[in-house]
Chains A and B, each alone.
Chain A
Amino acid sequence: MSATAEHQTYTGALKGEPNKSFEEIWAQPRGIRSLTSVSHRVVGKRFIVTGFIFFLIAGLLALGVRTQLIVPGNTFLDLQTYNQFFTMHGTLMMFLFAIPILEGFGVYFLPLMLGARDLIFPRLGAFGYFCYLFGGIIVLSSFLFDAAPESGWFMYTPLTTKEYTPGLSADFWLIGITFAEIASVTAAVELIAAILCARAPGMSLTKMPIFGWYILITAFMIAIGFPPLIIGSVLLESQRLLGLPFFDAAFGGDPLLWQHLFWIFGHPEVYIIFLPAAGFVSTMLPTFVGKPIFGYGFLVAAIVTMGFISFGLWAHHMYATGISPVSLSLFSAASTMVAIPTGIQIFCFIATLAQGRPRFTTPMLFVFGFLFIFVLGGLTGVMLASVPFNFQVHDTYFVVAHLHYVLIGGMVFPLFGAFYYWVPHFTGRMMSETLGKWVFWLMFIGFNTTFFLMHVTGLRGMPRRVATYPEDIGWDRLNMLSSIGSYILAAGIALFVIDFFRHLRSGEPAGRNPWGAGTMEWFYPTVAPGYNFRAIPPVRSREPLWDQPELNEDPAAVGGVLRAYPDHRRETVGCDPLSGEPLHIARLPHPTWVPLFTAFAIAVMFGSLLVSAYWVTAGAFVAMMAGFTAWAWEPSDSGVTRDAGLGYRLPVDKADRRSHTYIAVIGTLLILGALYFSLVFGVLYLWNTFPDFAARIARPDPLMAGGAIAAAVLMAVGAMAAKWLSMRDRFLTAALTGVVTAALGAATAGLLYLAIADIDRNATALGATAWAIVAYVGVLMFIAIWWALFNALRKLTGRTRPGQHVADFNFSPFAKGVALFAATTGALLLAAQGALP
């Protein structure tokens, strides 16, 4: 293999900015050009600020709800507006606040903690942010059209179908949220690759700060957990737009299928929100106790097992849907299972506290608030897991109280602690300890007043989501107190906002490592320069700033890799995922308009879909493809080696199974696989639940299905051959093989289409789902064909130089994955052909 051979014919620095100094290369663009910024520090802050604005909006909606309920028979909000308020409150909080803001913290802090100069795919981060922003704007803009979603944050069918929710309100939700979820899954891939592939020299996985583990597992959960909801939303939207009967019982569809898809996402979602917040806690605790976190290995195991368990428990949101009593009792037992990994984490936190004498700073107060509230929420969770009790309080305020104890206790309190802890890193100034304690106590007292009483309101039978209630049935005073509590909670949050703006001007300068933390984000005095590390120092400990005295000297002079920058490029070191040993130099992109342009094209695509302007949709689709192509169509720097310092001589952007680009392809396949799996689950579920309808659909054509399997196998072989040829620098034959691979991909998609062409997609839900699977495989084939032709075109136009193999190296697993989905589809069609009566 010639991957690391030196080629003298070109410099390997086609995109360098030779006139600029190191600081200038990393400088943030100013003015309007700041929209081109791709730095994780900028993108992370944007995620956090935008998420916080959504939090404030959703909080105001909640205050509207509480004001409506403050006295019986109130007319502050009419019924429809009330429905819109609680729906949008839940939607904004869950989708546009909780997940994005936590990802924002991950995006901002992980490179700093792990010893990287930027997140490993900076443009993807910027792209994800813009998708999130535009998706959020689409959802929020529904208020302007008086078409805000009003069916509750979980959008149950059949209420959300066209018959019962005419107009655009449900479409706003489905399209806007799906768009924002693209941001979440792209960020998930990016975080997985960044955590595994871009750490400081010597930082093995087990020396990684525990926060890295929390975000790594969360990212995996997002990658697997969001696809079922994306599929559910796409199916529901196509039922609304095209009349395909996925959830229509009259055609063998099942409204419960929506609930399954929703809760396969929705249950892990709770842990996706909890885990990063627990990561904040386990980062702050050691700082204020002065000892490392207790039970690192047990914590890691608890995080991993929590990730697995969370995907098996979705049915416990569906107790009241008519599941057989035998299964219910098993689910009940299973629901208590998650107490084990949660308990391990809580006990590790308590044991950490017991190791030393904690300093009672504002962040610590919030940590204590978290422990108190979250444990109570866990206890009511155990109560809800018991079937008879669950039936009794189903859809009452007891459930509302429980979920707010879990989510506000498990996420919002750690988040505010994290704000007080990390704001100095953003702004260089400390927030007020005095005001911070006021903020905490207002929030803590306000929260418990509001929500503790709701348990009682629920036990007294008040159902959730009712806009008002009659007098004198025992709900008046409780509601009054809950509403007053919500104002106290809001006052605490308002005081936080005031303190934030106050500290920007008059806060104490933070200086270097103000809390005495052990993690690397405090390596520079605040505000740290945009490149994070002048040279990336080797790391030998989980608390490097405590254990490695040299790191507390002049940060610009500390020895490390990549001090020299011979090619005048932004770059960071890519490592072996396991050992953290430097593997290659990862070249990073400089500021660019492409992410904004592409995200905007997609926003136009979705927006025009909403108003049924399909010609605009088509134009925006072309613009999007142009954007993605421009993204990838840049000269490659790979195929050379450079001295990296500390005795390392490293290749640039190595084609390797351990490199970030390869890991990202695998991560993408994981998402695509989860999407595919969700569709297959839909088919098997419908077939099994309504077998009578299976008899009504036409048999798929076995010859075409078999042909599709053969073509898919050949396509995978073609991609592997193209890689093999390319790795040996035989570019002409590799390009031709790539074209053949693309043709085989087209043949596979075409044969699958012919195999199901006789099935009527409007007559049965099962037929519609079969079409959905083939359509999905068709989309993936389109991407694979585009990629294969792209690689071929670059070689034919001389843009691929000897030693540059990354594109073909990474295309091969993608093509194999897509071929696997296509072949599985063919096999399912063959099996169906045999099994159909």
Chain B
Amino acid sequence: MFTPDPDYVPFCGMPPLPAELMARWTLDPALLAGLALALALGLWRVPAGGGARASFISGWGLTAIAFVSPICALSMALFSARVGQHLLLTLVAAPLIAHALDGRRVPPMGGAIVFSGFFWFWHLPTPYQTTLQSDAIYWAMHLTLLGSAIVFWSALFGRMDRQPISGFLSAILVGAQMSALSAILVFSTGLWHDWHRAVTAPYGLSAMADQALAGGLMWVFGSLLFVGAIGLMVVRLVARAESRAGIGHATSPR
């Protein structure tokens, strides 16, 4: 069993007060080195041209912002900020990075099940608590969450034009589980994460309101981002099929 260390400071630091927030950048050398390594790896592996590289760099940039900027510190005070960080990573950065990768080897349903599993697991009380008690577990959480999100999105993008049915079913699963989790958070009558009990007040939110906000963010911005990504994917798929078949130019009504 895991025993918490009372002197342990989480990776993003102790919860900041609003006044000190903007000065709380996370300039941890290991983090910066890891980000640089990921960038180098991406630039080496992702071919130039076709927008893939630009997509990768913007996804990487958002990932860097999510960890280096004060978002990281704020997520120590507010659960809603933590959820916002996770949404930014899994629903914006991950599809951007996935767009640059070749996901044709992974079945989308498998990716969706693994991602959904991690998404629920890391937001449940006990696992969430442990990420605030060990750097290793904190990074295990982020790497599994972001990694499985990238795998899911790249599988979806890579297989959509060959397996649209399982692609859609996997998208339905991911959307549904996210709505369900957020609904349960929003309508909860008890506090899930003790960590945030005493640290949200300086931001003008009770801990329960912060939790409801987290659920609401996941529900609303989660669906908005998710649906936006799906919509863009469909537009691109149809456009690609149209240009292949020459539709849209040759139709001539009588």
A interface residue numbers (CB < 8 A to B): 196, 204-207, 220, 224, 256, 260, 286, 290-292, 296-298, 300-302, 304-305, 308-309, 311-312, 315, 323-327, 330-331, 333-334, 337, 341, 516, 518, 541-543, 546-547, 577-578, 663, 666, 670, 677, 681, 684-685, 688-691
Contact = CB atoms under 8 A, between A and B. Distances in A.
Given A290-B253, A297-B234, A312-B175, A577 B189 contact: no
Interface stretch (B8-16, B44-52, B149-157, B242-250): B242-250
Sorted from nearest, which 6 A-B pairs have the closest CB atoms?
A297-B238, A330-B216, A206-B241, A312-B223, A301-B234, A334-B220
B208 A324 contact: yes
B241 A691 contact: no
A546 B254 contact: yes
B139 interface: no
A341 B223 CA distance: 14
B183 A315 contact: yes
B209 interface: yes
A315 B161 CA distance: 34
B92 interface: no
Contacts of A518: 253
Given A205-B164, A206-B245, A688-B184, A308 B238 contact: no
Contacts of A260: 183
B3 interface: no
B242 A297 contact: yes
Interface stretch (B34-42, B60-68, B225-233): B225-233
B123 to A, nearest CB: 12
B180 interface: yes
B247 A207 contact: yes
B239 interface: yes
A196 B165 contact: yes
Contacts of B176: 224, 311, 677
29 contacts: A206-B237, A206-B245, A220-B172, A260-B183, A297-B238, A301-B231, A304-B231, A308-B171, A312-B175, A312-B223, A324-B209, A326-B205, A327-B215, A330-B217, A330-B220, A331-B219, A341-B231, A541-B247, A541-B250, A543-B253, A546-B253, A547-B250, A670-B169, A684-B180, A685-B184, A688-B184, A688-B187, A688-B189, A691-B189
A139 B248 CA distance: 48
B183 A291 contact: no
Interface of B: 161-162, 164-165, 168-169, 171-172, 175-176, 179-180, 183-184, 186-190, 205, 208-209, 212-213, 215-217, 219-220, 223-224, 226-228, 230-232, 234-235, 237-239, 241-242, 245, 247-248, 250-254
A689 B241 contact: no
B189 A206 contact: no
B250 A323 contact: no
A334 B228 CA distance: 13
Contacts of A301: 231-232, 234-235, 238
Majority-rule SS of B interface residues: helix
Nearest to A834: B126
A710 to B, nearest CB: 19
Contacts of A311: 175-176, 179
A672 to B, nearest CB: 13
Contacts of B187: 256, 323, 685, 688-689
A311 B180 CA distance: 10
Contacts of A330: 213, 216-217, 219-220
A663 B168 CA distance: 13
Majority-rule SS of A interface residues: helix
Contacts of B237: 206
A291 B252 CA distance: 8
B114 to A, nearest CB: 14
A670 B227 CA distance: 20
Contacts of B186: 315, 323-324, 327
A291 B213 CA distance: 48
A334 B223 contact: yes
Given A286-B253, A312-B179, A331-B219, 6 more contacts: A315-B183, A325-B209, A327-B212, A518-B253, A681-B183, A681-B184
Contacts of B234: 297, 300-301, 304-305
Contacts of A541: 247, 250-251
Contacts of A196: 165
Contacts of A291: 253
Nearest to A334: B220
A339 to B, nearest CB: 12
A326 B169 CA distance: 32
B248 A296 contact: yes
A690 B184 CA distance: 12
Given A302-B231, A326-B209, A688-B184, A334 B226 contact: no
B230 A304 contact: yes
B180 A326 contact: no
Contacts, number: 157
A334 B219 contact: yes
Contacts of B169: 666, 670
Nearest to A335: B220
Contacts of A300: 234-235, 238
B81 to A, nearest CB: 14
A516 B248 CA distance: 20
Contact of B238 (A206, A577, A666, A688): A206
Nearest to B164: A578
Most buried by A among B161, B227, B252: B227
A341 B176 CA distance: 19
A663 B164 CA distance: 12
Contacts of B188: 688-689
A297 B235 contact: yes
A298 B242 CA distance: 12
B249 to A, nearest CB: 11
Contacts of B168: 220
A311 B253 CA distance: 38
A684 B187 CA distance: 11
Contacts of A681: 180, 183-184
B220 A333 contact: yes
Most buried by A among B205, B235, B250: B235
B241 A688 contact: no
B128 to A, nearest CB: 14
A647 to B, nearest CB: 21
A296 B220 contact: no
Nearest to A324: B212
Contacts of A542: 247, 251
A690 B187 CA distance: 11
A301 B233 CA distance: 8
B220 A308 contact: no
A324 B213 CA distance: 9
Contact of B219 (A206, A297, A312, A688): A312
Contact of B223 (A220, A256, A296, A308): A308
A291 B220 CA distance: 38
Nearest to B120: A684
Contacts of A543: 251, 253
Contacts of A220: 168, 172
A330 B219 CA distance: 9
A756 B187 CA distance: 27
A553 B238 CA distance: 31
A836 B250 CA distance: 66
B180 to A, nearest CB: 5
A324 B239 CA distance: 43
A578 B162 contact: yes
B33 to A, nearest CB: 37
A326 B226 contact: no
B247 to A, nearest CB: 7
A677 B238 contact: no
A315 B183 CA distance: 9
A690 B161 contact: no
Given A301-B234, A308-B175, A543-B253, A326 B213 contact: yes
A541 B250 CA distance: 9
A546 B165 contact: no
Contacts of A341: 231
